[in-house]
Amino acid sequence: MKILGISAFYHDSAAAIIENGEIIAAAQEERFTRKKHDPGFPKNAVEFCLKYAGLSLSELDAIVFYDKPLLKMERLLETYYAFSPKGLRSFLTAIPVWLKEKMFLKKMLYTELFEIEKFDKKKVKLLFPEHHLSHAASAFYPSPYEDAAILTLDGVGEWATASIGHGQGKNLTILKELKFPHSLGLLYSAFTYFLGFRVNSGEYKLMGLAPYGRHGSKEVDEYKRIIKEELIEIYDDGSIWLNQNYFNYATGLRMVYDDKWEKLFGFPTRPAESQLEQKHCDLGLAIQEITEEIVILMAKEAQKITGSKNLVMAGGVALNCVANGKLQNAGIFENVYIQPAAGDAGGALGAALAANYLVFDQERKVDSQKMDEMSGSYLGPMFSDLETELTSKKYKAKYTRFESFEELSKETASLIADGNVIGWFQGRMEFGPRALGARSILGDPRNPEMQKKLNLKIKYREGFRPFAPSVLAEDVEEYFECKTSSPYMLLVHGVQQKRRNQTPDNYESLPILDKLYFLRSDLPSITHIDYSARIQTVHKETNPRYYQLISDFKDKTGVGVVVNTSFNVRGEPIVCTPEDAYRCLMRTEMDYLVIGNYLFDKKEQPEWLEKDNWQEEFVLD
């Protein structure tokens, strides 16, 4: 059974292909087009998946789109009707697009697919599962569990904004749903907007900002009181009700009514890129803590109605690593598994898996000894030595080619230990938003200047943003308060107490940047302001080269941890090709680039003559 899954036309378009239940390939369109969160039809991703699987469209059993567009249209029309006469401007903007394009999505899909290859529509089925079913399938079917509760959380699909389901063998049942306009994802996005970040891309910045809030302070408590009394009602089962008098997303062109929020919180919507103040941090912490409270209540409800000891999660809110860590520590479930491509991109994979098991009734084989069926999420394209050498010739680049990877790994580990920043490009590209050691920028976590250098000279992004550690899986408890694996960088846990430095008495009253550059542990570049870290455990079986590099770094330094951030500059998608990687090297103050067995020293490269400017090419996220 050969099935292609597609997500498109909202954000993070992607394609995935499975054969007899095995996940063969998956990729986001943004990596090919270089447009971050590209919402267009994923032609390049589809072509890659077909090529990697050795299949044509004609050989497929089905093509599956990740949601039901007619149900979305129903929700739009009913929402505008319910809120009328408000929302006329938004209605006049949105409805012509829906009538012209999305009402005729099946025709659009065929048109796009036929540009790749003509095929017999009677032989290749075109299917449309519901959005949250696609999310649920993406989490349950790759997991190592025969039985699991399923929790999906995002902004909105067709009507559902959250769902609880139960997976048993090959069967998956949605048991309970929260409906639009009441949405935890949209609530979090509303605060993302109000605090000056871009909706649908800046939510992770809000998560990173929250720890700068003053935990347990009267200011944070007051913000939480206002939110709970004016904006939201939280029920025992985790369901929520949002006061639409304060929100404008249902029928408007903005997330909130700015004037009402200014009156509520005592300050206006923060302009993008403007100075962050303590009040912004405190409000960020307030909504983060409320989000964690809701997620834990929903998880308790999921356990109550399924009785399962396992939980799987997907949807954009499942990328909130802080909430995930708190949920895991709550001990509601014995095991928690999160789909690494939890957002809409993962819907492409979930749609294909849902069709495989629920439509075509295929048998599911679960290997509980494996971490999961995601192959470490290394499901994208890989490139040959020839392609690296052609890139080198194009740019007259100089390199050293190592005969053995072992030799290259030891040299790279030494370069990192000496304070250099390394672009690391190996094997198949990651599927999902996280760089996991295939397309990563690496540094020394012991170096107190590394966070500042990476933020300001490599990534060109806000200085408050934290960086993640990649740690040898067997060493995780030596450095972090984490007792499980975290291969996809989706869990935040504390740095071990023995590694922490004591804060000064006046710490809470210090300005934000003074707090930021206080050395909080013996691994200062990966220790966030609240002594936490977003952990990636590195496993030999899924990424042997990355595992080898960190092992060599440990042999040299005694520390089995490196700093890992995504291989891109701010606003750019993660690099896909050797050429993308080389261009990123030359546009930044990165020191070295490693592609396969090739090492490029920035100091030896010819002058970068390209007149392009990444700050003009990429819209800031």
Give the pLDDT confidence of 275-312 residue by residue, as tens digits. 999 999 999 999 999 999 999 999 999 999 999 999 99
Phi, psi of 170 (to 5 degrees): -95, -5
Give the Cα separation of 58 and 53 in Å (integer): 13
| Distance from chain centroid for Cα 528 | 19
Peptide bond into 96 cis (omega under 30): no
Q: Which residue has the higher pLDDT, 604 or 11?
A: 604
Residue 621 pLDDT: 67
Position 408 pLDDT exceeds 80:
yes
What's the CA angle centered on 11, arms 528 and 137, to 5 degrees?
85
- What's the token pair of residue 278? 């303590």
Give the Cα separation of 18 and 4 in Å (integer): 7
Residue 87 pLDDT: 63
Give the Cα separation of 374 and 338 in Å (integer): 11
Q: Which residue has the higher pLDDT, 251 or 159?
A: 159
Q: Are strands 2-7 and 14-19 parallel, antiparallel or unpaired?
A: antiparallel
| Distance from chain centroid for Cα 277 | 26
Q: Mean of the pLDDT values across residues 52-79?
A: 87
Residue 369 pLDDT: 87
Q: Is 84 exposed, middle or buried (0-12, 13-18, 19+ CB in 10 A)?
A: exposed
Question: What Cα–Cα distance (Å) separates residue 266 from each residue in 193, 233, 256, 308?
Answer: 16, 21, 15, 45
Q: Mean of the pLDDT values across residues 524-545?
A: 96
Q: Is 96 helix (H, G, I), strand (E, B) or coil?
A: helix
Residue 89 pLDDT: 66
Residue 199 pLDDT: 92
Q: Mean of the pLDDT values across residues 255-274?
A: 95
Full set of structural domains in the chain with CATH: 1-139+342-373 (3.30.420.40), 143-338 (3.30.420.40), 385-617 (3.90.870.20)
Position 107 pLDDT exceeds 60:
yes
- What's the token pair of residue 472? 């040898």
Maximum Cα–Cα distance across the chain? 72
Residue 120 pLDDT: 95
Residue 614 pLDDT: 57
Position 77 pLDDT exceeds 60:
yes
Give the Cα separation of 404 and 332 in Å (integer): 47
Q: Contact 27/379 with Cβ under 8 angstroms? A: yes
The 10s digit of each residue's pLDDT in 445-499 is: 999 999 888 888 888 877 778 899 999 999 999 999 999 999 999 999 999 999 9
- Model confidence band, residue 46 (pLDDT cutoffs 50, 70, 90): very high
Q: Are strands 125-127 and 62-65 parallel, antiparallel or unpaired?
A: parallel
Across the beta sheet with 400-401, what order do the strands follow?
A: 400-401, 598-601, 592-595, 422-425, 439-443, 561-566, 468-472, 532-538, 491-494
| Lowest model confidence (mean pLDDT) among 163-167, 247-251, 293-297, 356-360 | 247-251
Instruction: State the SS3 of 260-297.
Output: HHHHHHCCCCCCCCCCCCHHHHHHHHHHHHHHHHHHHH
- What's the token pair of residue 84? 């009328």
Position 569 pLDDT exceeds 80:
yes
- Supply the mean pLDDT for the chain: 93
Give the Cα separation of 413 and 483 in Å (integer): 27
Q: Contact 67/5 with Cβ under 8 angstroms? A: no
Phi, psi of 445 (to 5 degrees): -70, -15
Residue 104 pLDDT: 79
| Predicted TM-score of the model (pTM) | 0.95
* Chain position carrying tokens 């920028």: 441
- DSSP per-residue codes, 550-592: HHHHHHHHS--EEEEEESS-TTSPPP-SHHHHHHHHHHS---E
Q: Is 472 helix (H, G, I), strand (E, B) or coil?
A: strand
Q: Is 93 exposed, middle or buried (0-12, 13-18, 19+ CB in 10 A)?
A: exposed
Supply the DSSP symbol for 606: P
